[in-house]
Structure 1
Amino acid sequence: MTAVAPVAGRWEFEAIGTSWRVDSERPLRDVDRAAVTSLVEAFDRDWSRFREDSTVRRLASGGSVAAPPDGAAMVALYGALADATDGAVNPLVGDALARRGYDASYSMRDGGAVAAPDQWRDVVEVSGDRLTLHRPATIDVGAVGKGRLVDLVLEELRRRTTGWLVVDASGDLAIDGVSQRVALEHPYDASRAVGVWTLDAGALCASATNRRAWGDGLHHVLDARTGEPVRSYAATWAVAADAMTADAVATALFFDGGPRFAERSRASWVRMRTDGSVEWSPHCEAELFV
């Protein structure tokens, strides 16, 4: 997914395992960049299942810790995702991903399918200022986490600078105050686009099975009920008021309940099946090349 912005201030950096770009009407100060770097580091230290020092890793054997600031909101959104997708999306899918090879060491060695705990609400609890796992499990916030972090970065910069802003985290994009034409990258050919979506506010998030893929048809989008990679859809795109919601919708769209979840979330969407056919929501404003 590619955004084209008028260039004034531009800052590119690596974080949470992906490339970021911030475009701004005014160049960012060193203190602004330092604040964003600190914010991203804190979020990663809480939620990364790839870092030995993260809250998620420390909690994997069970127990209770101080809840990260985003804990309640993200777990609540996972509840809505699980309900909409009949349990296909689940915040305890971390062990299933690791078993398929997407583990902390990036071994990419498939150990076979294992389902995530289907009664995950009995395992994960956010109460007051505590995040508790009542038995060992690995939290994975991949369905909503990067979108939430994009929102946090935009909010931090909005407090610090004036003028338009674009925060692009390699597929999760938040825009404030400037028109953007965003190409929807074809999942089977990065030189082509499925279409173009133009927006000047809100967020556009994408997900595709060709990213973070390995082995024989393995990729990062698993059905939590079975531990198997999804096979029906190759790519999804969602537009919503904020990036966490758009990120969640983009994940839900790999499953049958995705369109219902998108409607409840007031999001528009496009998705491509693995046979190359394209579907889209009512009133979708994307210009599609189909």
Structure 2
Amino acid sequence: MTPPGPAVEPRERDGFPPPDESTPPDESPPRPRPRRRVTWQQLTVLPCFLVALLLGTWLWFQQADLDPISENALSDGQVSKALWQHIELTVISTFFVLVIAVPLGILLTRGPLRRATPVAMAVANTGQAAPAIGLLALLVIWLGTGMKAALVGIIVYAILPVLANTVAGLRANDPTLLEAARGIGMSPAGVLTRVELPLAVPLILAGVRTALVLNVGTATLATFGGGGGLGVLITTGITNQRMPVLVLGSILTVALALLVDWLASLAEVLLRPRGLEAGT
């Protein structure tokens, strides 16, 4: 009978080193990923470019030789009036696009109205596929000249991106999350407002950003229906062959479109729900 040997730990017998009991296990919970923030490049690069663009345009006008026709087109606050009309057309049309497209997108993802989604999307596609100037001409014949016809044309032209993104964002929600929300007793309205819409916010904001830029560009055509805007300067420069007037109207339109796109990109970051930031 062999005498028992020294006691050996099982892990040591199997060839594994003994556990180091001097180092306590890391029991700290995993640190959440930091919330996505606006970087300094997003805040400074485009504004600096716009300032340089507008400053260069102003310096060019200081040394430009303007004839009486150009001076008459740019005098008496007509530039600021056209710019304000353009901003007004963009803001009002975007407001009505949101009022129409977002609720309609919600309805098209509810119950029996889902069957009407292809028809609604086809109508929205038709509105954007039609040439904007032709659509505006038809509206002028129907509604007469003025800002009303221009606004209706801009709204019809910009509904598609917001409507399509609203429907896509709501359909992309995870069904298990919606079932879990219903399982804890949420009403259908609570599931929509507290779960579905917050999850769809990134896609909806992307559609709004696209619509804003579209509205800035389409608003230049409002001048053909008597709606004013920066298109007045552009058409004046073209018809009278006055390059300074044409250049000023074009640069202000481009600068406004870039500014609107920059503001919308900041809104996409700042308005994104906090719960989605950790997962991006």
Assess same fold via TM > 0.5.
no
TM-score (normalised: structure 2): 0.30
Larger Cα-atom Rg: 2
Normalising by structure 1, we get a TM-score of 0.30
Q: Which has the higher helix share?
A: 2
Bigger share in strand? 1
Larger RCO (CA under 8 A, 6+ residues apart)? 2
